[in-house]
Structure 1
């Protein structure tokens, strides 16, 4: 933990947003967002792609003005957005200077105050005291050292003369992140900071954020980072009243509370829908009695018929009024993912690979044996050949050595890392063409709502196309499921539902992933490291 003046100064860190509203293109992006971040609070921001997470950070940083609501900030602010602050024709040192500009200014002010004090200028003592306090508040003299430590820990380039144009996007982002971790800001706003980090970099980021004595707002799809770092979660996904939800108890508390709230929402909507259905049935029955039931049996007098008909008419009117008065004011809750039944003969060999090799991808011979219901996690660093191995198992890539055999009639499905090029056909048409007449209906999977399913695939977001990819995989009712980085571009809610479903399906499952939370959730599965 930080000690001394730096930690005491963080008491000034404060960020408050009240009733934020913002729309783009006529579509609400932020609706009634409230949050408070004080020292020691690390707020994770969760939600599907397109729910306004990056927009919220821009509003909190002051680079975007909301349509309504207020934002108040106290203390220094460090922001890691998805745009770089300087052009690629500058150097690593230039980027560091930009990110440490406030530290540099504090040190210049201290130097000037020191010179003035030595010259015995009037009021020099107070100016020196103020400058010293400001420099101690950010531990300015150690800022460059802290940056150097983070540069090394994040495997970032340390040569300050190196032109940024010679670096990859990932390397530039690691430099900028190292600067923010070392600058001593009171408040940090971070947008997907785990992008481009390896395992050591992730560990360093986790430690630095947990040690940070100020406030943190963290937008991330990395469930492990949220689980390890966040003290509270702001959920921007749909709610029963349309407003964002703030949950305490860290990531696990968020998941538990979100599940409970979703169940209450579903119950309320179901109860109102059933009541409307009952009222409609009562009206239909009354209308039937009016058209047929008011006629008495043969031989009954005209007076009886005349007195019964008005009562039946009044009954129809009462039931029509009751139906008109009943409004379903609870919006339809979001879909839940429903894994279709996938069965495979227990103990029967579905897929077998013996000593397979793909030159340039993985050179060490690799063997895999899969029976019904078995599980396997494939791990290894980037470039170790995980995706290539799954492609070999799926039959989309021929090995340079070794053999692959499928059991008779075994169905094997692969969810690749990248979606195929999008088509102008509507999503449900693509699904129906793939599923055929025997496939599970798209609506039953709970992956795409009806309005999304009727849009051309070219108009879908990356996350929505990823959901369609998953639906296409399941439509073939595979007995062996091969998943290559299945958590990419999916919401935390869907990932949790998918993980639960994979644990119980009768199909054999192979997962290749870097996702640390998914690795934790599948800790009991056999491992194959490449």
Structure 2
């Protein structure tokens, strides 16, 4: 059966890479990637921005060749890249036809060969058998129904005559994703497929990826999707030897494996640094002895100085050689977020005395339903509700950056409140270190916190040393968000108000922040749409300012 279309191979399908390397502008993007994908396997791909996640998808799809290494492909591929070009005049139906090409071809050949059988053509029997096998593998008769179901579930346009150029980016993405999910390819390569999906669409996508026979390579920042779908995780972040790490056990196994890998990395680096420090000390001691040897105590003869000198010189040379040989081969471990101690001085407040008390607060047009709440030392609260419920406004009221139209707000005078707003301020042309130091100076000058109690930026593990001299406007969105978080923690607040704290942050940092929020002595009030974070804080108290059930409450 010859169609010119890549046919599914099912159990015989293969997709993978062997020692793949690729660089851009002289900088390595991927180094030594070994990956094997089989039908039914579900591999999540994670890494900081610029670590080559999308590049790996392009290499697997065959649209980009690696500089070295090999790629094997045997079977059909469905690809959802982050960018999507639209040819003039192409419709929803055209996009579906592209993904269902193999099913369409199998059914067409099946029909043609059936006519040949009825006419007594001898070659028709073999062609019919091959087409029937492919059609059965693809469940081709049901392909359009599967696509229609996916279109409905994802909230996509169902009119197949609709021009793609007349649709929004999100609408086009949902149509393409529905077509991919209905096509039954051997492999699905998905780059951030949760973009443009609502809660119902996310649930449907999760269910379909769990049930599909296809092998999946899934690039995503959505920790809930990775937790629910991925059976293993490929981590493209820096490692001790520069090569990616593949962790089994799903997302939970990845978290534990990464933590253990980081501990080994730090231990190995510290051991090498300690050995180098010891050798440097031995060299300094030998040099001191050489100086002392050339200046012996009074009464010591010149012959004794002459006798000792050669041995001391040789000792210095041996130790210098040993130090030169002791090269630190382990690279410096990556940053790790460290939450500073929070909640100090709260012993000045009587137990059960509210740190913040809001009674019937209203902000006209933004928080129309009166809200009352009390924040106690060490308490935990999740503010829930659909968009427009007033979550951000409530946090801004508690943080005293928005004045309520009515109601009362009382914040204990000794209590320090830190508010991480949902959006960063317009980026400054000043350098990061200058912006942070100015912020610390203002905190001290206003009497918010003594200067010796502020948090040095380097202690937080949020920004690399090389980033501190960059201008804020030159930072990535994620780096700007890290700076926002650092400035929120600078005064060691007793109450942390966090509005969508995971926006633009890496998966690694979000995990570290989540652990820190569970352990801190500060009170925490949190508003988030992050599905995994909402799962992690499911045991906290919840408050919906609107009083109406929304997708947050149902999560």
TM-score computed with the length of structure 2 as normaliser? 0.89
Question: Which of residues 362, 380, 383 is equivalent to 2:388?
Answer: 383
Q: 1:416 to 1:115 in 2, by over 3 A?
A: farther
Equivalent residue number for residue 438 of structure 2: 433
> Counterparts of 2:386 and 2:522 in 1: how far apart (Å)?
27
> Counterparts of 2:38 and 2:407 in 1: how far apart (Å)?
59
> Deviation digits for residues 87-140 of structure 1, max 9, x if unmatched?
586443343333334433333333333333333334112112222222222112
> Counterparts of 2:49 and 2:154 in 1: how far apart (Å)?
26
For structure 2, the 5+ residue unaligned runs are 1-7, 442-450, 547-555
> Deviation digits for residues 214-239 of structure 1, max 9, x if unmatched?
20001111111111111111000110
> Counterparts of 2:165 and 2:404 in 1: how far apart (Å)?
37
The secondary structure found in structure 1 opposite 2:260 is helix
Equivalent residue number for residue 404 of structure 1: 409
User: Is 2:340 the partner of 1:340?
Assistant: yes
> Counterparts of 2:488 and 2:289 in 1: how far apart (Å)?
51
Q: 1:474 to 1:295 in 2, by over 3 A?
A: same
> Deviation digits for residues 469-523 of structure 1, max 9, x if unmatched?
2112111322221112222222222111111111121211111112222112112
Equivalent residue number for residue 400 of structure 2: 395
Q: 1:125 to 1:226 in 2, by over 3 A?
A: same
Q: 1:366 to 1:96 in 2, by over 3 A?
A: farther
Q: 1:176 to 1:125 in 2, by over 3 A?
A: same
Equivalent residue number for residue 141 of structure 1: 141
Equivalent residue number for residue 219 of structure 2: 219
Equivalent residue number for residue 3 of structure 1: none
Equivalent residue number for residue 478 of structure 1: 493
- How far does residue 363 in structure 1 lie from its aligned partner after superposition? 3.1
> Counterparts of 2:382 and 2:510 in 1: how far apart (Å)?
16
> Deviation digits for residues 19-74 of structure 1, max 9, x if unmatched?
11111122111011110011221001011122111111111111111111111112
Q: Is the 8 A contact 2:293 2:308 kept in 1?
A: no
Equivalent residue number for residue 459 of structure 1: 474
Larger deviation, residues 350-359 vs 131-140: 350-359
Q: 1:109 to 1:203 in 2, by over 3 A?
A: same
Q: Is the 8 A contact 1:378 1:510 kept in 2?
A: yes
> Counterparts of 1:486 and 1:105 in 2: how far apart (Å)?
49
> Deviation digits for residues 407-441 of structure 1, max 9, x if unmatched?
21432222223222223322222222222354322
Question: Which of residues 437, 446, 451 is equivalent to 2:461?
Answer: 446
- How far does residue 459 in structure 1 lie from its aligned partner after superposition? 2.6
For structure 1, the 5+ residue unaligned runs are 1-7
> RMSD in angstroms over aligned alpha carbons?
2.1
Q: What is the 5 A alignment of 1:12-91? A: 12-87=12-87, 90-91=90-91
> Counterparts of 2:402 and 2:120 in 1: how far apart (Å)?
79
> Counterparts of 2:396 and 2:304 in 1: how far apart (Å)?
81
Equivalent residue number for residue 4 of structure 1: none
User: Is 2:514 the partner of 1:504?
Assistant: no
> Counterparts of 2:88 and 2:411 in 1: how far apart (Å)?
50
Q: Is the 8 A contact 1:76 1:185 kept in 2?
A: yes
Equivalent residue number for residue 553 of structure 2: none
Kindly tell me the number of residue pairs found equivalent between the two proteins. 523
> Counterparts of 1:358 and 1:109 in 2: how far apart (Å)?
66
> Counterparts of 2:109 and 2:134 in 1: how far apart (Å)?
9
- How far does residue 166 in structure 1 lie from its aligned partner after superposition? 5.0
> Counterparts of 2:101 and 2:394 in 1: how far apart (Å)?
47
TM-score computed with the length of structure 1 as normaliser? 0.93
The secondary structure found in structure 2 opposite 1:190 is strand
> Counterparts of 1:385 and 1:464 in 2: how far apart (Å)?
27
Equivalent residue number for residue 305 of structure 1: 305
Q: Is the 8 A contact 1:15 1:74 kept in 2?
A: yes
User: Is 2:225 the partner of 1:235?
Assistant: no
